[in-house]
A and B are shown apart, each in its own frame.
Chain A
Amino acid sequence: MWLIAVYDCPMTTPEARHEYTVFRKRLLKNAFIQVQYSLYVRHFPTMAAAEAMIQRLKHQIPSDAKVAFMLMTDKQYAMTREFLGPRPKQQRPDAPDQIMLI
């Protein structure tokens, strides 16, 4: 199960920027991977685990921000079609294997 977080955060005042940074870091601390500027994804082994993450994050979104958490099955995520410009910098992350050989 993939959890996708997309957001719009106001950045007009220093306080708002600070709140935004805190939220962004919170996503990174929870092992979300940044795919685009305001689009983060993370893989979960079960739907319940993804649901729990949403519950934990939903109280911590910045004021005046708009955040959407979208759930996608592995199959749906695999159907994503992605296009990169002529100098691609990064690729979409894959679901982590249980065994990771590094």
Chain B
Amino acid sequence: MSEHHVLLIENPCALNIHLECLKISRAGEEPIRIRPSDIAVLCLHHHTVQLSVHVLRRLTESGAAILVVDDQHQPSGMMLPTFGRPHATVRLRQQIELDRSKLHALVWQQLVSARLRSQSWVLEAYGRAPAARLARLAGLVEPGDAGHLEGQGARLYWDSLFDQPFKRKKRDAKDMINIHLNFGYSLLRSLITRELAQAALRPELGVGHRSTENPFNLADDFLEPYRFLVERLVVSRPPHKGEKFSSEHRRQIISGLFEQNVRLGDQDFRLPAAIRKTIASYLRILEAGGVGRRRKLLLPERPQ
């Protein structure tokens, strides 16, 4: 199955299902037809896009995520497939089980360590001083990140990543760098959440993220080791001050993200496949219940 198209709708158009394909009609242009099973994410970025419940149903049935974006370019809502749910109860029990056992601390340790390692790669590629320190921190992470090395790492990282003074802002960002980062992360998160939904995992039950207000705790956990892809992209093409966040920028971020290969084990994967592999390794941990050697997550390794 080649379910890897990301559709970004940024202009007025009408979506409907015609002969089992999604038909996108725009004024004055030839309609486009795509099989719903080829679509990974449909991102609705314009407020006058017309579509019917039938379209939503067909897309979710074939496993696509639908993302509604607000005027800040942040996702304001997401619709996910609920199929593959026969395992849902079993998975939920396994997730609760993991949450109660000490094993979740070991999973979080791996995620934080991977995050710190990936931060050190990015800094190293740009010759920033704290790269070695971050690499060292990555080796010191304790189960459950008891020493809060993630926070320490983040401070070092954000202070030295950009040439200009920079403050990381998650919400209502006004500066271009934060807007770029937030957009990239939200796309990654939608890819991860979609894979979680297909694996019948509850995204609320996180391993390290345990906010009671965040419905995507688990997605944010798996976001950690993949965030560097977005950051590397933004550092390599830093946005100019006073520029507008145009559709060309968005396109660059998205195609940049999808063009990068992610190394897992000794193989290179495209981004959606890599995320799927990582989540499959988490499922193996859940199923084994931490018995034996099946405790290792498959996480991105140093890019070539």
Contacts and interface: CB of A to CB of B under 8 A. Distances in A.
Interface of A: 25, 28-31, 33, 44-46, 49, 90, 96-102
A50 to B, nearest CB: 11
A17 to B, nearest CB: 18
Contacts of B5: 96, 98-100
Contact of B255 (A33, A44, A99): A99
Contacts of A96: 5, 34
Interface residues of B, number: 27
B26 A102 contact: yes
Interface stretch (B17-25, B119-127, B133-141, B158-166): B17-25
A31 B254 CA distance: 24
Given A31-B35, A99-B254, 12 more contacts: A28-B19, A28-B33, A29-B19, A31-B33, A97-B255, A99-B6, A99-B255, A99-B258, A100-B8, A100-B34, A101-B10, A102-B8
B19 A102 contact: no
B34 A102 contact: no
9 contacts: A29-B19, A29-B20, A31-B33, A97-B255, A100-B5, A101-B8, A101-B250, A102-B13, A102-B26
A25 B18 CA distance: 11
A59 B26 CA distance: 36
B165 to A, nearest CB: 32
A100 B6 contact: yes
A101 B7 CA distance: 6
Contacts of B30: 90
A102 B13 CA distance: 8
Contacts of B251: 99, 101
B255 A98 contact: yes
A98 B251 CA distance: 11
A41 to B, nearest CB: 12
A44 B2 CA distance: 8
Contacts of A100: 5-8, 32, 34
B97 to A, nearest CB: 38
Nearest to B22: A31
Contacts of A25: 19
A49 B2 contact: yes
Contact of B8 (A31, A45, A99): A99
Nearest to B252: A99
B247 interface: yes
